[in-house]
Amino acid sequence: MSIITTRDGTEIYYKDWGSGQPIIFSHGWPLNADSWESQMIFLASKGYRVIAHDRRGHGRSSQPWDGNEMNTYADDLAELIETLDLKNAVLFGFSTGGGEVARYIGRHGTKRVAKAGLISAVPPLMLKTDVNPGGLPREVFDGIREGSLADRSQLYKDIASGPFYGYNRPGAKPSQGVIDAFWMQGMMAGHKSAYDCIKAFSETDFTKDLKKFDIPTLVLHGDDDQIVPIGAAGLASAKLIAEAKLVIYPGAPHGLADTHKEQLNADLLAFLRS
């Protein structure tokens, strides 16, 4: 397997396909690099080098007790980019991965980055606060934590078969294959790592990070996202990023990289070529 070892000894798995301008994909919770495969195989076939890593504690990477928070996630991404000596790269982050991309730019800048994309992403802040009234109440995330401790296998099945892909909407046609893939990826994550990541994706404020973006950025979100509501996420991020291009998918759920993969692939390619 392709692995780098970070400064604290954590092994980060990554896949690296094709050749050309490098594109790095950061995945959502509690998934891993496999969640990006539809986009990776498409863009690699169009002449790009596509790279996706399993975040620490997830997938095939090692499961350290510590470091399951955004600063370390971003630093791990920086070590991957520096180890592979990637330049003129494009960063795409889905959901929690969008937070990872934002914090990477906030901490490490854009010297090696040409463009970025936030897809169904958690920035600027998911948690409802006095200054972020459009966020979700803490009770929502406490419920996810409780479900994780009680029976995380069932929690992942419930999320995948319901709100994540919009399969709980009238007329939806659930794919058992997609549900099974979500569950399998979730169960590959370390229990402690996935539990800690709930706090990381829900409570981290990326406002200052987004204001440091100085590259063309795609902000793409479904307006029926039941996991990361568009109002406090995509719409708010697009206002904070100076060079943001906002694309809204009417009726699309959170997991649009699967439910709308052909449309997303075409939009990502158009953004890369723009």
- Annotated catalytic residues are 95, 225, 254
Q: Which of 114, 79, 101, 116 shows the shortest CA–CA distance to 217?
A: 116
**How much of the chain is in helix, strand and coil states, percent to nearest 5?**
45, 15, 40
Q: Compute the distance between CA of residue 76 and CA of residue 23 in angstroms, rounded to an integer.
A: 16
Residue in the structure block whose two tokens are 């973006």: 213
- Give Cβ neighbours of residue 10 (< 8 Å, ≥ 6 apart): 56, 61, 62, 64, 67, 76
Residue 119 vs residues 19, 143, 163, 218: alpha-carbon distances, Å: 23, 24, 17, 8
Contact status, residue 121 vs residue 98, Cβ threshold 8 Å: yes
